[in-house]
Chain A
Amino acid sequence: MNYFDLFDLESTYKLDKNNLETKYLSLQKKYHPDNCDSIEEQLTMVELTIKLNEAYETLKDDTKLIIYYLKQNGYDFTDAKIQSNLSQNDLMYLLDLQEQVAEGLVKSADFKQALKEKVSSVTLSLVDAIESKNNEEIEANLSKLIFFNKSLKHI
């Protein structure tokens, strides 16, 4: 069962986050292991809640949501493919920033902020590409997004 089905939501990269949260909370109440009576049920409930938490963490985040949506729709990427899709500019941008942080010219917090902004702007371009159904642009931007999002996580 994919994440959208789990929440009984339409598969889209434009989710109503309030609606998502309401569904999440009502499912939590239904499946949280603390709310179950029998030990037999417990294990199933734990597994369900784990899946629920995982799904919610993914869908509530714009970037994770769009990556998940595209993967669901056949755009899957290996590390090698992402790298081949990245431009020299993207790599240089990150390396430059990393160097400046290492030399103490840029604060680590500012680096994080810069990457966050980069992730947001790439996300917007990706939405444009999806809407104009430009396959090449979708692939390029998705690679960028995965790449910068990973870098952000590793700060």
Chain B
Amino acid sequence: MSQKIYQIDEPDYKKVIVKTAIGIDLGTTNSVVAYVKDNKIKLLADKDHNTLFPSVIDIVTTKGKEIKLKSVKRLMGKTFEQAKESPVHKNIEIINESGRAKIATIRQNYTPEEISSMILKKLKEIYRYSEEIKELDQAVITVPAFFSDNERQATQIAAQLAGIKCLRLINEPTAALLAYGLESEKKGNFAVYDLGGGTFDVSVLKLVEGVFQVKATNGDVQLGGDDFDLAIAKHFGFENDYDFLDVAKDLKHKLTLQSKAISEYNGEKYELTNNQFYKLALPLLEKTTAILEKTIAEADLDELDGIVLVGGSTKMPIVTKVLESNFNYKIFNDVNPETIVAKGAAIQADKLLNKNSDILLVDVNPISLGIETMGGIFERIIDRNTPIPTAKGQNFTTFKDNQVNLAVNIYQGERELVKDCHLLGKIVLSGIPPMPAGMPKIKISFILDENSMLQVKAVEENTGIEQSVTLKSSISAEDSLAILKDSIMNARNDVSEKEFIKSKVELEQVIQASRNLLNTQELPKAEQDKMLKYVNEVEEKTKTITLKDDLDDLRFALEDFFKDIVKENMNALLETSIVGKQLDDV
């Protein structure tokens, strides 16, 4: 890493305790953890030296199918209506729990936050075995720059559930440039093109004298590597076959190195050439170049020194190809696009924990914030790309004569009507003295701090009455407490999801073995019927059981039941055969 930054331990520099600075890139496909140790940035590796940990959780669907639940990041902070449209979650059942999306499993329904916290817990588990760091209890976590407040809040809840204090959420492209800028000791203006597994982000930053100033940011939270897999699946007519997505991914991966890829599925061979893939990928890549162009324009800089590629999906050679043909900028694809984000998060964690003042990240508000005015119009108070911390105010008045209450609905978005924006919360200003419409002077102020936490205040200026609220997102404090409580109560279940699956598999094996036994043993008809009935009953029960212990009890009972009866009958059989043998042979 940059020596400039991490040689801050000069002899006269007194650091009482250097806290371990950890950064987590909680990705759609893979998660990465980086930390600062001895002024060096290191990646967390498991015993097999892996540094990329799949963001995958094993679940059993309501239909009893064991699957790997992937890309849960795409469901974070989404309403049920939004989540059910997710093209890569056709294999799971998403249910509506008071508007919130939950993932149904055979045991219970999980929020995306809970699933995400399980991924974090898995990372914690790996940490426990690492030699250098023993605790993963606080970290800077990265999110897509274009994540809304709801999506950010969901990420914070996931961290909380996993017992990790979130020092700050920082935007993925910003984190990437923080690490890249320091590693390569670059200066100037750069666009970061971040195409991950499920999200796409662009940020334009200016790097001068250790200050990383975000100039503009933009993105699409539903566009990433997953969508290229879907395009391939569609090409072969498998858009509704979830299992084919792995084949599509395999073809895509092979095409990063060769011009033609072949993969097998259900005994059939599927072939894809680079040219075919280019045609499939182009519409998706054109979406990204349009966003990139817009963001560069918004940054309003005299010149741009280059485009830095990050995110696993930029490993597809066509990304560089398309960018080179569309833009006249230097393309930097010399970083490891999969680990750079976590490294940047660790640098920011080090800055926040150990007060390293050599670097400073000046971030912006990524999505406009405002309120609903008459007719459902979205009135912006804090525009996007405004540097934070910031405070902005605007005056409003009442619509009706003698209006004594005023509801202020707070939204986030870039559309003109609130119905197309995200609702973040509301405040009600009551006790306005009766006045004709238009007379009250109500000042609404928004304060967005350096942690991107929003505080909204409404003051009636004639009387001085005021009301304020601190918002993190539409999930109110009570809601998030309820989620937390819910989750603590289910904590045992969370950890034991895997154990549960194991028990279920064991039970299924015993059931199967029992059936085999019944088929091969010549038992008296009455006994056989009795046993078959019992096995069927057990199998029925298995479908409704939600606790591991119940599964185990059932298995023990089945084993015992079989042992006794089989023993009895086996003895009888044995006796006859021995008797027979004796008659014949002895």
Which of A32-40, A131-139, A144-152 faces chain B? A32-40
Q: Are A46 and B360 in contact (CB under 8 A)?
A: no
Decide: A32 near B360, CB < 8 A? Known: A25-B208, A25-B211.
Answer: yes
Complex-state Cα separation, A18 to B498, whole angstroms:
59
Q: Please list the residues of chain A having a beta carbon within 8 angstroms of any beta carbon in chain B.
A: 21, 25, 28-29, 32-35, 37, 46, 49-50, 53-54, 56-57
Inter-chain contacts of A46 with B (CB < 8 A): 389, 449-450
Decide: A53 near B390, CB < 8 A? Known: A25-B211, A33-B450, A34-B351.
Answer: yes
Complex-state Cα separation, A33 to B355, whole angstroms:
11
Complex-state Cα separation, A34 to B168, whole angstroms:
11
Q: Are A33 and B389 in contact (CB under 8 A)?
A: yes
Q: Are A56 and B450 in contact (CB under 8 A)?
A: no
Q: Are A37 and B355 in contact (CB under 8 A)?
A: yes
Complex-state Cα separation, A33 to B208, whole angstroms:
19
- A53-B386, A53-B387, A57-B386 given; name 13 further pairs at CB < 8 Å: A25-B208, A25-B209, A25-B213, A28-B362, A32-B362, A32-B450, A33-B449, A33-B450, A34-B351, A34-B361, A35-B355, A35-B360, A54-B391
Q: Are A54 and B357 in contact (CB under 8 A)?
A: no
Chain B interface size band reads 20 to 34
Decide: A34 near B387, CB < 8 A? Known: A25-B211, A46-B450.
Answer: no
Complex-state Cα separation, A29 to B351, whole angstroms:
13
Complex-state Cα separation, A57 to B388, whole angstroms:
11
The 29 sampled A-B contact pairs (Cβ below 8 Å) are: A21-B208, A25-B213, A28-B211, A28-B360, A28-B362, A29-B210, A29-B357, A29-B360, A32-B360, A33-B389, A33-B450, A34-B351, A34-B352, A34-B361, A35-B355, A35-B357, A35-B360, A37-B355, A46-B389, A46-B449, A49-B389, A50-B389, A50-B391, A50-B447, A53-B386, A53-B387, A53-B388, A53-B389, A54-B391
Inter-chain contacts of B210 with A (CB < 8 A): 29
Complex-state Cα separation, A124 to B389, whole angstroms:
32
Closest to A46 in B: B389
Closest to A61 in B: B300
Closest to A26 in B: B209
Inter-chain contacts of B386 with A (CB < 8 A): 53, 57
Inter-chain contacts of B211 with A (CB < 8 A): 25, 28-29
Inter-chain contacts of B357 with A (CB < 8 A): 29, 35
Complex-state Cα separation, A46 to B213, whole angstroms:
17
Closest to A36 in B: B355
Give the shortest distance, in Å, between A122 (CB) and chain B (any CB).
19
Closest to B351 in A: A34
Closest to B364 in A: A53
Give the shortest distance, in Å, between A79 (CB) and chain B (any CB).
12
Complex-state Cα separation, A46 to B452, whole angstroms:
12
Give the shortest distance, in Å, between B358 (CB) and chain A (any CB).
9
Complex-state Cα separation, A29 to B389, whole angstroms:
14
- Per-residue contact bits, chain B 346-374, to A (CB 8 Å; 1 contact, 0 not): 00000110010100111000000000000
Inter-chain contacts of B389 with A (CB < 8 A): 33, 46, 49-50, 53
Decide: A56 near B387, CB < 8 A? Known: A32-B360, A33-B450, A35-B360.
Answer: yes
- Per-residue contact bits, chain B 207-234, to A (CB 8 Å; 1 contact, 0 not): 0111101000000000000000000000
Give the shortest distance, in Å, between B297 (CB) and chain A (any CB).
11
Give the shortest distance, in Å, between A52 (CB) and chain B (any CB).
9
Give the shortest distance, in Å, between B167 (CB) and chain A (any CB).
11
CB-based closest 4 A-B pairs: A53-B387, A35-B357, A50-B391, A33-B450
